[in-house]
Structure 1
């Protein structure tokens, strides 16, 4: 099928869905429009969507970890960005395409209508951007071709519920259009993601973006004086030199005996925290971790003096999520069975690419993320002060502590790549 190659960019900081004209005659899809009834329990809807988003985070992580392209690489992405982009796309989806998006995102269609989901994201995005911290921002944008007229109600919902900025561009001028999108994303991510779109096909008619940016300072910063060169054990046979930060302080930690994982909480100067998870066996942790574990860890963590070692690092990741989302059941939107009639009745549309990029920088003062994070933690007790040294592969999470919303999720197997 001669489908346009559009990129959906989801950086840890930004998620993008590229929609273009399908060139094949599409089959007779189920035209049934999903009933949009306003849910009476908006608080309940927010809770249901928030829980679904957390579950989606770990399901997407496992798909990425299992993907052949991820082997031997760090993983880092923003579940919050990906789910916001796909939820925004679902506004324009109907029939089986809509059902697959809802199911893939973990939304129970017997409990949640599209309107419920839209209102929940409106609340969640308002909450994220109304915090007193100026160091976190989330949002969406839609870039529409000059000659393409989406349904007004589609654009209105994106603007009202997803706070989408709207722009008209000439996708026939692919280089200029890509530059316009990249400039917008670069500005919204404070320069962390400067080239979300690598190229655009001239058959692109719409580009949907979701971005997220977070910069936090540690509640207790590391002292540069104690930062030294050390080894990081990538595996049994491979060591790489890293710059290792060190601090002996009171930290909240928890050892999960079921997962054989030690968890360290590093709070930021805000309601956000980074959780570093150091497992005895990485596969055990990444195959079984779920939102309930995070809830349990935060509840049962104890404060104790610990000698903590964490490598300084900066990583960038880039994903094309087409295959991953297809594996998660979101298949029709990529092909000639796509039903995006909620965007346009006149032209048959399909998704060409879902792209995600993310960045994570960790140093003595704090962390900046334009993606998702995964970190693992090990507990050793060679002396009366236990030592927790992240000198082997670990997972990382950046969460909002009160809602346990997962902003970023990842795995660091080699901080030097």
Structure 2
């Protein structure tokens, strides 16, 4: 009887977005029909990824460990890691992964999904000019021999780096993985792995990093201490940033929520959602809402107040993914024979970590900017103050791809 080896997946989102520095060379002689077919399947995968955003959010928000806490995660990073895992899954395990991700088995093959992620990552890399860095990495035990096809598909479609380690030397293995992660996340996550199980045979990591400067930065001189209303009985002091600016906004009467768009100096934006009732927003928000908001937003001059904050989140996604139907991969029924034949593999843990830093210059702490603040107007300017719990979405304005999503209950909660 073959012993079950431990397969760990760590998903990492360190401060916001997608796309890594491997350009995939396209054959210029590709026929138009092939290009169209790939574009169509990429569109199907993209649509499923957008739906996955909100299904995953509701599962995270409902989880006991999330109660009373900030929520922040990268659905794109989770999708990338699980899609990469599905390359090695077979049978019912593969069907559950596809179903959980929202991929229709009758319309999409594994090859379709692989090609779609290659296109999505490549396109993001081509259009983001260095402010986004993401990809995957596989750390394989020296004595474990994965299928060459599995590793090649990860390298080609998911931009994976590959490393051999000796997992029996736990300290050395931890240091190797942690140093890699620290470099890829610009120091944001410097100790991902600890107490490594020496029976581990493989680690699959998905990382993502975004550094964006506001198109119109906040003036640090205007940042003052103010109160943030965590709930009816709790107020905390925060550093509240302020600007008067013409910004795009929308009031959604259906869910009584004000939506404000803070654009970065690229094609990405942060959407800040200030609801009358957080529970209504959390239960109802969907892909369609984001499409509607971006379409119908109109510019208006606001006196805007947004808290300056840094948050970190960490999730074990085993229960959440099991609740989304991805059950077999965690137990004896796991079929990951596409990774390696003749060995009984199972996923021991899926962990997601994310950080978000918001300051006057942008969405990371390491920010610099040269954009001036517009002059104050003397006419009446409505005040929009994010001094109570709000939600945040990081999206690409043209494709509406949602890269990060979260809920800020307490800007000072670590």
Unaligned runs of 5+ in 2: 17-33, 366-378
Q: Which digits, 9 at most, give the CA deviation of each residue in 1:15-73, with x for residues without a partner?
A: 9xxxxxxxxxxxxxxxxxxxxxx997110111111111111111111111000001111
Deviations 1:308-364, CA, capped at 9 Å, x for gaps: 100000000111100110011000000000000111111110000000110000000
Counterpart selection for 1:221 from 207, 214, 217? 217
| 2: CA distance, partners of 1:4 / 1:272 | 41
Task: Check the 8 A contact 1:133/1:270 in 2, yes or no.
Answer: no
Structural RMSD (CA)? 1.7
Offset from partner CA, 1:77-122 (integer Å, 9 cap, x none):
1111110000000000000000000000010111110000000000
Q: Find out whether 1:160 has 2:153 as its counterpart.
A: no
Q: Distance in 2 between matches of 1:294 and 1:142?
A: 34
Cα offset, 1:9, TM superposition: 2.1
Is contact 1:39-1:112 (8 Å) kept?
A: no
Distance 1:73 1:291 in 2: 24
Matches within 5 A, 1:51-62: 51-62=47-58
Q: Match of 1:195, SS?
A: coil
1:8 to partner: Cα distance: 2.7
2:395 aligned partner = 399
1:221-246: CA deviation from partner (whole Å, max 9, x where unpaired): 00111111000000011000000001
Which residue in the other structure is 2:295 paired with?
299
Partner of 1:185: 181
Q: Which residue of 1 aligns with 2:251?
A: 255
Q: After the TM superposition, which residues 112-131 of structure 1 pair with which residues of structure 2 at under 5 Å, given as runs?
A: 112-131=108-127
Contact 2:15 2:211 in 1 (8 A): no
C-alpha spacing 1:14/1:264, structure 2 compared with 1 (3 Å): closer
126-135 or 94-103, which deviates more: 126-135
* CA displacement, residues 102-147 of structure 1 (integer Å, 9 cap, x when unaligned): 0000101111100000000000111122224321111011111100
Once the 2 structures are TM-superposed, how far is the Cα of residue 11 of structure 1 from its aligned partner? 2.5
Q: Partners of 2:129 and 2:395 in 1: how far apart? A: 14
Does the 8 A contact of 1:256 with 1:263 survive in 2? yes
Q: Over residues 243-288 of structure 1, what are the superposed CA-to-partner deviations in whole Å (9 max), with x where a residue is unaligned?
A: 0001111000000001110000000000110000000000111111
User: Which residue number corresponds to residue 10 of structure 1?
Assistant: 11
Counterpart in the other structure of 1:361: 357
* 1:4 Cα deviation from its structure 2 partner: 6.3
Counterpart CA distance in 1 for 2:46 and 2:9 is: 23
User: Equivalents in 2 of 1:366, 1:246: separation in Å?
Assistant: 13
Q: Residues of 2 paired with 1:14 and 1:143: CA distance?
A: 23
Equivalent of 1:317 in 305, 313, 317: 313
- The within-5 A match list for 1:59-74 is 59-74=55-70
- 1:374 counterpart residue number: none
Distance 1:249 1:111, change over 3 A: same
The answer to whether the 8 Å contact 1:14/1:356 transfers is no
Q: What does 1:326-405 align with in structure 2 at a 5 Å threshold?
A: 326-368=322-364, 384-405=380-401
> Per the alignment, do residues 207 and 224 of structure 1 end up closer, same or farther by CA in structure 2, a change over 3 Å counting?
same
CA distance in 2, matches of 1:290, 1:142: 33
Aligned partner (choices 192, 195, 203) of residue 196 of structure 1:
192
1:87 counterpart residue number: 83
Distance in structure 1 (CA, Å) of the matches to 2:316 and 2:15: 13
Q: Counterparts of 2:10 and 2:231 in 1: how far apart (Å)? A: 32
- Alpha-carbon contact 1:14-1:211 (below 8 Å) kept: no
Q: Does the residue aligned with 1:349 lie in a helix, a strand or coil?
A: strand
TM-aligned CA deviation for residue 197 of structure 1? 1.6
Give the one of 165, 174, 190 matched to 2:170: 174
Secondary structure of the residue aligned to 1:360 is strand
| SS of the residue 2:301 aligns to | strand
Q: 1:203-238: CA deviations, max 9, x gaps?
A: 111100111100100000001111110000000110
Structure 2 length as normaliser, TM-score? 0.89
The size of the alignment, in residue pairs, is 381
- C-alpha distance in 2 between matches for 1:238 and 1:14: 28
Specify the SS of the correspondent of 1:263.
Answer: strand
Q: Does residue 271 in structure 1 map to residue 272 in structure 2?
A: no
Corresponding residue SS for 1:172: coil
CA contact (8 A) 1:39 1:115 kept: no
8 Å Cα contact 1:39-1:45 kept in structure 2: no
